[in-house]
Structure 1
Amino acid sequence: MLKKERHDFIMRQINLHNRVLTSDLVQLLNVSEDTIRRDLQELVDEGLLYKVHGGALSKSYHSSFDDSTVYARDSKIAIAKKATNLIKDGMVILTGGGTTILELVKQLPQGLTATFFTISPLVAVELAKYNNIEVILIGGLFSKNSQVTYGGHVITQLAEIKADLCLMGTSALHPEEGLTDTYWEINQLKKAMLACSKRTAVLCISEKLDIALRLKVCPIESISYLITELDVNDDLLANYRTKELNIL
């Protein structure tokens, strides 16, 4: 594989999953670890990503207030507009982090009266712009990679919440493998979020469909709503329409 092809592949993985591991790229591209390290450094030098220990992060994920760097922003805005229909006055909402959730917050009605718990400081800042929304940031260890709080203290706090709706982004969703992730701490965090919520909506651009990562969060049946930018009758959603979830 040519270097440009490797770089394009790496950037696609970054854009889809917000972060990549060097070890995963070595296996996926069948090249040496030194080659991947050089590739990542060249992409860093071009200003396309952030290099971190063991891999790399998306610039849009790391600098979420810069709309110009958000990958597939139009699709995420379309998803956000659909998701706002699930949110009503008086609800208790729990959110994860990520650029799709941030786009959702920006689409909320100005007069909405609700309580939002979130594990994302970036989401909390955006929510604070609404006069009638009570914002509760769940504190704990802060993940530099995922830009959310995590750990035992966070999971303990989540266990005390009874949310009407959980709004969660994802790195991968598969009709048979369900919701999956790459990192253990995020996997455990998402499980705790699901457990304390009556309903869960997964916000997912279509490029992340039919992908399974190494750690399972939950089966597809544990999700109440799947929200993509696609029409509900799109062929790409055929395998999801047979499952016990609502597609928006």
Structure 2
Amino acid sequence: MLKKERQSFILHQVNLHNKVLSVDLSQQMAVSEDTIRRDLNEMAKQGKLIKAHGGALSKSFHLSIASDHVYALNSKKRIATKACRLIKDGMFVLTSGGTTIIELAKSLPPELTATFITVSLPAAYEYIHHPNIEVIFIGDKISKNSQISIGGSVVSRIKGIRADLCFLGTNAIDIKNGITDNDWEVVEVKKAMIESSDRIASLSITEKLNTAQRIKVCDLNCIHTLVTELDPEHETLQPYKATGIEII
């Protein structure tokens, strides 16, 4: 694989999953980790990504809250609009982190009255500008990679909540592995959210379907609704629909 092709693949993966590991990229492209490290260093100098220990982070994910320069923004806006249909007045809603969750926060109808509980700093920033919703931010140690609160006290507080609905920002999802992620502490927070919610909605752009990361969040049968930018009858979604998940 040529250098240009490698770096194009790396950029796509880091924008898709927000974070990539050098060892995974090395295996996926069958090149040495030294080659990957050189690519990452070069791409970081060019401003295409953020070099991190053992891998890289998406630059678009770490731009300011007001920025529109996020990956697949139009698709995420469509998902957010569709996800809003699931929210009813009076609900207690748990939300994780991620750029799709931020778009959901921006898309909430102004007449909605509900309580939103989140661990995401950028999402909380958006919620507090809504005229009618109550906002509960569960804070502690902040993950710079994911921009959410993490740690044992966060997990404990979430377990003391009973939410009507949980929106999960999704890193990877497929039929066999369910929902997976690449950050252990983020996974622990998401697991607690799932346990504390009556209904779970996974928000995912199509490119994340049929992909898997190293750490399991939950089996596919733990979620009730899958929200993508596609029409629910699109052929890509039919294997998920066949499992009994609601597709919107």
Range class of TM-score, shorter chain: over 0.9
Paired with 2:198 and 2:238, the residues of 1 have a C-alpha distance of 26
- How many residues are matched? 248
Counterpart for residue 176 of structure 1? 176
Paired with 1:78 and 1:230, the residues of 2 have a C-alpha distance of 9
Paired with 1:126 and 1:187, the residues of 2 have a C-alpha distance of 23
Counterpart for residue 206 of structure 1? 206
Unaligned runs of 5+ in 1: none
Paired with 1:64 and 1:110, the residues of 2 have a C-alpha distance of 24
Counterpart for residue 55 of structure 1? 55
Corresponding letter in the other structure for 1:37? R
1:151 and 2:158 are equivalent in the alignment? no
CA contact (8 A) 1:59 1:69 kept: no
CA contact (8 A) 2:19 2:182 kept: no
Counterpart for residue 86 of structure 2? 86
Corresponding letter in the other structure for 1:163? A
Paired with 2:173 and 2:222, the residues of 1 have a C-alpha distance of 12
**RMSD of equivalent CA atoms:** 1.1
Residues 69-218 of structure 1: matches in 2 within 5 Å?
Answer: 69-218=69-218
Counterpart for residue 42 of structure 1? 42
SS in 2 for 1:217: strand
Distance 1:156 1:61, change over 3 A: same
SS in 1 for 2:176: coil
TM-score of the superposed pair, with normalisation by structure 2: 0.97
TM-score of the superposed pair, with normalisation by structure 1: 0.97
Paired with 1:9 and 1:124, the residues of 2 have a C-alpha distance of 33
Report how far residue 66 of structure 1 moved: 4.5
Paired with 2:238 and 2:67, the residues of 1 have a C-alpha distance of 32
Paired with 1:100 and 1:33, the residues of 2 have a C-alpha distance of 31
Report how far residue 177 of structure 1 moved: 1.4
Report which stretch shifted further, 227-236 or 22-31: 22-31
Counterpart for residue 32 of structure 2? 32
Q: Quick one: percent identity of the two aligned structures?
A: 53
**1:229-248 CA distance string (max 9 Å, x none):** 00111010111111121100
Paired with 1:232 and 1:6, the residues of 2 have a C-alpha distance of 34
Counterpart for residue 233 of structure 2? 233
